[in-house]
Chains A and B, each alone.
Chain A
Amino acid sequence: MQPFELASPKTREQAVRLLGTDPARATILAGGSDLLGLMKDNVVTAGRLVYVKSVSGLTGVHTEKAGGLRIGALTTVDDLSADAALGFEYPAITAAAGHVAGPQIRNVATLGGNLLQRPRCWYFRNGFGLLAQRDGKSMVVDGDNRYHAILGNDGPAYFVQPSTLAPLLIAVGAQVVLFGPQGERRLDLEKLYRIPKTEGEREHDLKPGEVLTEVLLPPVAGRKVYSYEVRQRQTLDWSLATASVALEMDGGGKISRARVILGQVAPVPWAATETEEFLKGKTLDVDVASKAGEAAVAKAKPLSQNRYKIQLARVAVKRALLAAAGIVEEGA
């Protein structure tokens, strides 16, 4: 790890000033569970770390008068998993938070850091760059891509967005509050993520000097919400494919609007729009859920070693939908 300066601002304004506008010089440090590892491996270097955990007023889950929840971006993932108000409104979110990494990491990791953590692509983590290109060619395509993208993988980005919480928060309609040199702005969380086209670009739309300060959740309003992750190991393992769903039902038990967001399959949390269309007006049963899974991967393109992830995404969608609707498949 290279030497760096640590700045501990007390206010949002100080934080923004300390960050400046050159991301290469100053970087936000929250729980550090991702950033510090990357710095130790010299994948990320920064002259100054701006420790936003020291900024007051950016933690906790607050119930809004008009309904919905306002969550400070510096709330730890562990606190999220145990929050009563959040658990009452969105038990799927507290449950998902409880499955992130292990207890040590959950104790330091923050909501903001979780949403903005860097991809786990092993080419990126071993120092070959976010797009892992060499001589104009993708190392991922020619190399070992067993954990890489099956959707949104037209290149040159093949990594997958790793956050457990992002797909679920997008599915329920979360917005984020960003505070920067130009003041505050709100953005649908879904719009925060982007697929970079060149090596210098980032995988999100944060402007230089911006801090993610809050996450806003609308009231659940009777929607059925669930997130299903396929994990091989029981602890400290990454999901291989995640499906997060939020279903609005009409009076007759039919789906009036569905959000189906996939994690770990594309460089961004992937909106399975074909599935969302397909589900409109349907009454959920095993057959419909299976077909919804098919629709989600209809456009998936495997790389040389990740064909199996198509099946995982398919079954994750099916299982998330059935669980959201409380339907138990025979033998499952």
Chain B
Amino acid sequence: MVDYFWPAAKDRHLIGQRISRLDGPAKASGRAKYTYDLKPQRMLWGKILRCPHAHAKITSVDVSAAEKMPGVKAVRVIQGPGTEVKWALDEVVGVAATSEALAEEALRAIKVEYEVLPHFVNEANLAQAPKVDAGAEEVVGDPDAAMAAAEVKIKGTYGMPPVAHNCMEAHGQICEWTGADTMNAWCSTQAVAGVAGQFAEGLGIPAANVHVVTEYMGGGYGSKFSVDRWGVECARLAKLAGAPVKLMLDRRAEITVAGDRPSAYGEIEVGAKKDGTLVAWNSKSWASGGPGGSGDPPLPYVFQIPNRRRKHSSVPTNRASARAWRAPNHPQGAFLTMSALDDLAAALGMNPLDFFIQNLSITGVNEKVYREELQIADDLMGWRQRWHPRGDSAKGPIKRGLGLSLHTWGGRGHRSNCEVTLHPDGIAEAKLASQDLGTGTRTVIAIVLADSLGLPLESVKVSLGDSRYPASGGSGGSTTVGGVSSATRRAAQNLLAMIFEKSAPQLGVKPEELEAAEGTIRVKADHGKSLTWRQALAPFGQTPVTATGSNPGTGDLTSSGVGGVQMADVSVDVETGVVRINKVVAVQDCGLIIDLKTAESQVYGGMIMGISAALSEEKVLDPVTGQVLTTDFESYKMAGIADVGELVVHMMTGPGYDERGVIGVGEPPVISPGPSIANAVANATGVRVPFLPLNPRRVLDALEANAAKKKETA
């Protein structure tokens, strides 16, 4: 029985170092081929005719003209007469043709008639919603009595609109039938192993006959777990046409139907004692993520206020269904909670840093983590020297301010299997049906394998993105790094056990006295007694040696529950409402870090995505047609590199952190930018801008409303 463990700090040679991702040069040079780039022989182009109405009944579909067009190889009605379509750009007819232009021309030749039905797409104003699914009220303690007794309290309404995932590589796949019931599918997916089964189910063929390949992948952020209707339809078109079909969404469809982070709105009341101790919380929240309603943000977030009542309502809308968006529900929970708490700190006349620290005892297991992180963030931001009460008194229109927020996330490693093969040439290869979304998964696996075997990175190879390899979970919930690194570590340790078995007699010691380091198998207590890697492998001959490892398994290689702190420094032009980020500091824990560089890179990426959503992103839905209006990168505003300011990342490492094992970090850093920036804007201007994104319209509307209120009370 092998005892699985992570090497102690002194024995880590690659783990925890700052290592550039191994596929960086291939990606930067264009040698890496994404699904979007592939073009198998005889490939046809698939396109989908989409419904222009947000809510309608299909009354007739006439594809005859399209079918007759030369070059059109397959036409399939996806949703026929009688079907009720519940969001704009839902799929109606698929075609495959010999060129992209021809496929588009065929779509234009298709006649579909609709009976247009009433739609509802903008849930910001709850009173206008035709249907509200009111959730149950949840009560802890005695919120009414506690609120009545609270010495200081505030009440506010806060909210954030839906945003789109906007993966750089759109959703899509290429399907190629290799027999009557066997198929290859190149997919832009977050779940190589899982999507094979989904194809199989949709197509009625054995899952083992579907071969899914995702060598490189251009982002998913939670939106690419499903094969999706267009995936199955792509396969059907390929079958009908008798040729491979590539069907990738265009940007308009990508933004409209392939990604939606639910909105969240809340009326919140929160109360504290004069000394800042939180005592009571009351929230009425609502949100929408499409016809099925919405997720339910954790409220209150992080701070488990002893007396609390929450009630969340889900509002069905005629929008394409929500998909998990990086840390599902947490950005919403954090924004609603941290905004209200910051307003309460202002009402108390307290520095929010003191106020947050004062209440850390109700944050649960991460209390100590937050305390340490807040200290570091304070140093990196110069919070205590620079903080001022709400409303920058500087002359002129530019006001500067600071804001902060805390967050948490799970991130335990998912189910994963790794097969390590030791080739006779001494190269070790790890195989997993996992996927590298651009996060550095490949690199992390290579580091674990190389460090475990005492080999340099050049002596290991990672093969992933293929459903024929041992199954590994989908990449979501920040579960990948913990899963694949644990499985790989166990496989490597199992392999070493096999090698040590053979080496021990040669070195005249017991197997447990051996270690693999610096390309040798050596006696731990006497490094002079060693075998070269080649010598150690010799007993195995010409047949490669394999071992497998799985997660979960014995030994604490992964755990869950990280804490993070972010502080933002912004400048607001109060005459134009333009918010500029000066600096954002992120202090993040994620247990034992395999690759410091790619871990930091995840934090940078999360911060940038969060800043973008905080400042400018919004999926704008047209009240008149129910269509998304922001259908390209011009109107769907993503922050550019010049907009994100100076980003400072500090990863928590060392004693207290490393022994927790490997925990994922893709999601937590995206949670706090919204609230920390919004709180900084409030600190700068003295006025709460309650709704994201913090664009000139939102900021000026809030300033104007505040001025009007002041006038009234004067």
Contact = CB atoms under 8 A, between A and B. Distances in A.
Given A330-B396, A332-B398, A308 B637 contact: no
B642 interface: yes
Interface in A124-155: 125-126, 128, 134, 139, 142-144, 146
Interface stretch (B62-70, B373-381, B625-633): B625-633
B700 interface: yes
Given A126-B627, A331-B398, A232 B695 contact: yes
Contacts of A235: 640-643
Interface string A158-178: 000000000000000000000
Interface stretch (B201-209, B334-342, B445-453, B570-578): B570-578
Nearest to B618: A146
A240 B578 CA distance: 11
Of A126, A232, A237, A307, most buried by chain B (CB within 10 Å of CB) is A232
Interface string B638-659: 0111110000000000000000
B629 A122 contact: yes
Interface in B575-596: 575-578
Interface in B147-170: none
A183 interface: no
Nearest to B693: A232
Interface in A184-203: none
A312 B696 contact: yes
B229 interface: no
Nearest to A138: B624
Contacts, number: 102
A182 interface: no
B576 A230 contact: yes
B92 to A, nearest CB: 17
A262 to B, nearest CB: 15
A237 B695 CA distance: 12
B63 to A, nearest CB: 19
A315 B575 contact: yes
Contact of B397 (A122, A123, A331): A331
A311 B575 contact: yes
Contacts of A126: 627, 629, 631
Contacts of B635: 120, 122, 125
Nearest to B577: A308
Nearest to A319: B575
A144 B556 CA distance: 53
Interface residues of B, number: 41
A3 interface: yes
A143 B624 contact: yes
B396 A332 contact: yes
B69 to A, nearest CB: 13
A233 B637 contact: yes
Interface string A98-121: 000000000000000000000010
B622 interface: yes
A287 to B, nearest CB: 15
Given A308-B696, A308-B697, A144 B623 contact: yes
A142 B701 contact: no
Contact of A329 (B105, B396, B616, B641): B396
A244 to B, nearest CB: 17
A233 B639 contact: yes
B623 A2 contact: no
A236 interface: yes
A2 B105 contact: yes
A2 to B, nearest CB: 7
B74 interface: no
Contacts of B632: 125
Contacts of B624: 134, 139, 142-143
B267 interface: no
Nearest to B102: A3
A235 B643 CA distance: 8
A120 B634 contact: yes
A320 to B, nearest CB: 13
Nearest to B575: A315
A1 interface: yes
Nearest to A330: B395
B395 A232 contact: no
12 contacts: A1-B104, A120-B635, A122-B620, A126-B629, A142-B624, A143-B622, A144-B629, A233-B642, A240-B696, A307-B701, A311-B576, A330-B396
4 tightest A-B contacts by CB? Answer: A331-B396, A331-B395, A234-B642, A143-B624
Interface of B: 101, 104-105, 108, 394-398, 575-578, 615-616, 620-625, 627, 629-635, 637, 639-643, 695-697, 700-701, 704
